[in-house]
Structure 1
Amino acid sequence: MTSAITTDLSSREGWTRWAERIHALAEERDAVILAHNYQLPEIQDVAHHVGDSLALSRVAATATQSTIIFCGVHFMAETAKILSPDKRVLIPDAAAGCSLADSLTAEELRTWKAENPGAMVVSYVNTTAAVKAETDICCTSSNAVEVVASIPADTPVLFGPDQFLGAHVRRMLGRDNIQVWGGECHVHAGINGDQLRAQAEGHPDAELYIHPECGCATSALYLAGAGAVPEDRVKILSTGDMVTAAARSTSRQVLVATEIGMIHQLRRAAPGVEFLPVNERASCKYMKMITPEKLERSLLELRDEVDVDPETAAKARGAVQRMIEIGNPGGGE
């Protein structure tokens, strides 16, 4: 095995040789490679499992390998460690963070809880381990509605940190006792209603796949309600549910409002459909920090390891396990 990538990955033959090397290293290290849907295409194609945060959490919880290489952002690797504390969890770049996870700290959550005694805390999985430790139930975008619906209707809910997903949950359930934190993913917040309207007008027959973290989710429902877009063409979906919908789609075109890495998986699921990003600049710099070179280095050097304080992990584990048990088994973040 070489200690650095020397193959030109731009050719199919070069990529195949590199993928064979990565898989051989993974077998030697007794490692499973997990990749999120927003990763670079080369990373998605070489991973043993590709999916959203919920699907990958389920894999991490049941993986038989002793080492998990998580190609995603830091909170995802933390979640894998929470679920599999006895396994070694590595992330190819420890600096791959998340603007949404950074928008709510454990200290801020404790203050919020103190101001609202008796409320249940539902935290999006896009949070730090410390925030999960202060949480009653975690959720993903696919099961957020089901998670909140599982809480008695007369019990106040503190939902954080994503304001757009929280607004979606509140809209779907019609509950006025849901307080929503004001956080956001900088990538999804940047996909706005004007962009969506322009793309929808330019592609009048296209379906719309909208991630509920997007700033344009409300605009999509408004366009449908106003008759600008047929209601049956507007779908508010998690990334995992987008793949499922794509495989079943009979449309020729689909407009996609989420991070552009998702387009790769959608095209694989439905090669006969043209998938177009609503905003072609909606790229997460943190997700794209995981490169083929860094993945290979991680396998060769067994770095960078992600650890979670055992006490924090123990407090967080119940909230994450409840997330896995509730709602859609096939979709997640």
Structure 2
Amino acid sequence: MVGILSLASDNLERIRQQVSDHLDKAEQVQRSEQQTQALMDSIAKKLKQEDAVLVAHYYTAPEVQALAEQTGGFVSDSLEMARFGRDHPAKTLIVAGVKFMGETAKILTPNKRVLMPTLEATCSLDIGCPIDQFDAFCNEHPDRTVVVYANTSAAVKARADWVVTSSIALQVAEHLNQQGEKILWAPDRHLGAYVKKASGADIIAWDGACIVHEEFKARGILDLKRAHPDAEVLAHPESPDSVLEIADQIGSTTQIIQAAVSSKASKFIVATDQGIFYKLQQAAPDKIFMIAPTAGNGATCRSCANCPWMAMNELEALDRVFEVGGNEIFVEPALAERAMLPLERMLSFKATL
């Protein structure tokens, strides 16, 4: 097991360097309000012409989320994006997010065309858990039930017994623990540690992490809280344990939004990707939201709590989505069929809650 985990750590270091190199080369898009509106109008026209609907993740840019809403699309977490696309009558789904989200949409909707602004948009959790290494890890522990996070490739999902989202991860672990099952968890070590501690389940976890959430620092949050003692801390469970220990509420993206709405507090320090602020401000316009501090200029990912891959879903790329070629999602049917089994198991379980 040690050898496999050290490989996972090496993958994470390699991913961090790739992101650093990308941020060094990336150019910030500068455009006027008129140019932004012209792009949004152009994309909306093309969506209608192509019988397509846009689904966007909470972590994409505010204008992308607004465009999805304005054109009859949807903004949510990865699974709800896929389910909306499955149930929508449009023949084509445009997925503004990262690659595993496009794959999930295709698995749930094999009869529809699924396009993404770019297939380069990926996730450190996904690419940090390659199927060959993960398969070897599973084979070392044949007595364990394999539970994987949605932030994984179709191949990794197909190797699993269960797929979970952050909103249901704890309940699934509690259920399996009650059944006396031991769990092999992948790929996020922080979410795995949180679930293990909260459920009491016997869990061994893959050594992966989200490059955005891992940069949140408890010390910086406590410093900010001293300046705003009445602020509540809302944290995503992909964050390090030191951050979760000082959080007032821990939850998925959707749960963070719900917590902000239901809480009596008027100020919040939010430890997740700052793209969620669009929906937070929409849901609770009378409240104040502050991004949780990261490691600042010395941070490994240097992304200022914003996923660099999510940022690739810019309006310019969406305007070319029907023209560029090479940006359609395909999942081999037999692989999709195997990946659908743990997804259906999760959906059936969620329906009982």
Matching of residue 159 in structure 1 with residue 185 in structure 2: yes
Q: Which runs of 5+ in 2 are unaligned?
A: 1-29, 295-303
- Describe the SS at the equivalent of 1:117: coil
Matched-pair contact (CA < 8 Å) for 1:92–1:304: yes
The Cα of 1:181 is off from its aligned counterpart by: 1.1
Aligned to 1:43: 64
| Matches for 1:128-277 after TM superposition, within 5 Å | 128-151=153-176, 152-175=178-201, 177-215=202-240, 217-221=241-245, 223=246, 234-277=248-291
2:49 alignment partner, one of 25, 28, 49: 28
- Cα distance in 2 for partners of 1:20, 1:14 equals 10
- Describe the SS at the equivalent of 1:70: strand
- Cα distance in 2 for partners of 1:46, 1:299 equals 16
Matched-pair contact (CA < 8 Å) for 1:54–1:324: no
Matching of residue 305 in structure 1 with residue 305 in structure 2: no
The Cα of 1:319 is off from its aligned counterpart by: 1.3
Matched-pair contact (CA < 8 Å) for 1:166–1:180: yes
Residues 269, 307 of structure 1: alpha-carbon distance in 2 compared, 3 angstrom cutoff: same
Aligned to 1:294: 317
Q: Deviations over 1:81-139 (max 9, x none)?
A: 11111111001011001111112121122212211122110000000111011011100
Q: Which amino acid aligns with 1:276?
A: M
Aligned to 2:306: 283
- Describe the SS at the equivalent of 1:111: helix
Matched-pair contact (CA < 8 Å) for 2:235–2:243: no
Q: Deviations over 1:41-62 (max 9, x none)?
A: 1111101100111221221332
Q: Which amino acid aligns with 1:307?
A: F
Aligned to 1:230: none
Q: Which runs of 5+ in 1 are unaligned?
A: 1-7, 225-233
- Describe the SS at the equivalent of 1:186: coil
- Describe the SS at the equivalent of 1:85: coil
- Aligned-residue Cα RMSD (Å) equals 2.1
- Describe the SS at the equivalent of 1:298: coil
Matched-pair contact (CA < 8 Å) for 1:124–1:139: yes
Matched-pair contact (CA < 8 Å) for 1:32–1:65: yes
- Cα distance in 2 for partners of 1:213, 1:283 equals 14
2:142 alignment partner, one of 117, 124, 132: 117
Matched-pair contact (CA < 8 Å) for 1:58–1:324: no
Residues 329, 94 of structure 1: alpha-carbon distance in 2 compared, 3 angstrom cutoff: farther
Bigger drift between 182-191 and 101-110 goes to 101-110
- Describe the SS at the equivalent of 2:336: helix
Kindly indicate which of the two structures has a greater share of residues assigned to helix.
2
Matched-pair contact (CA < 8 Å) for 1:211–1:239: yes
Q: Which amino acid aligns with 1:314?
A: E
Matched-pair contact (CA < 8 Å) for 1:39–1:72: yes
- Cα distance in 2 for partners of 1:250, 1:83 equals 38
TM-score by length of structure 2 reads: 0.83
- Cα distance in 2 for partners of 1:238, 1:80 equals 19
Aligned to 2:19: none
- Would you say how many aligned residue pairs link Structure 1 and Structure 2? 310
Matched-pair contact (CA < 8 Å) for 2:216–2:243: no
- Cα distance in 1 for partners of 2:216, 2:112 equals 37
- Describe the SS at the equivalent of 2:328: coil
- Cα distance in 1 for partners of 2:217, 2:345 equals 32
Q: Which has the higher contact order (CA 8 A, sep 6+)?
A: 1
- Cα distance in 2 for partners of 1:18, 1:154 equals 54
The Cα of 1:242 is off from its aligned counterpart by: 1.5
Q: Which amino acid aligns with 1:104?
A: C
The Cα of 1:67 is off from its aligned counterpart by: 0.5
The Cα of 1:15 is off from its aligned counterpart by: 4.2
- Describe the SS at the equivalent of 2:147: strand
Bigger drift between 23-32 and 130-139 goes to 23-32
Q: Which amino acid aligns with 2:57?
A: H
Aligned to 2:340: 317
The Cα of 1:312 is off from its aligned counterpart by: 1.1
The Cα of 1:302 is off from its aligned counterpart by: 6.3
Matched-pair contact (CA < 8 Å) for 1:146–1:326: no
Aligned to 1:53: 78
TM-score by length of structure 1 reads: 0.87
Q: Which amino acid aligns with 1:37?
A: Y
Matching of residue 67 in structure 1 with residue 92 in structure 2: yes
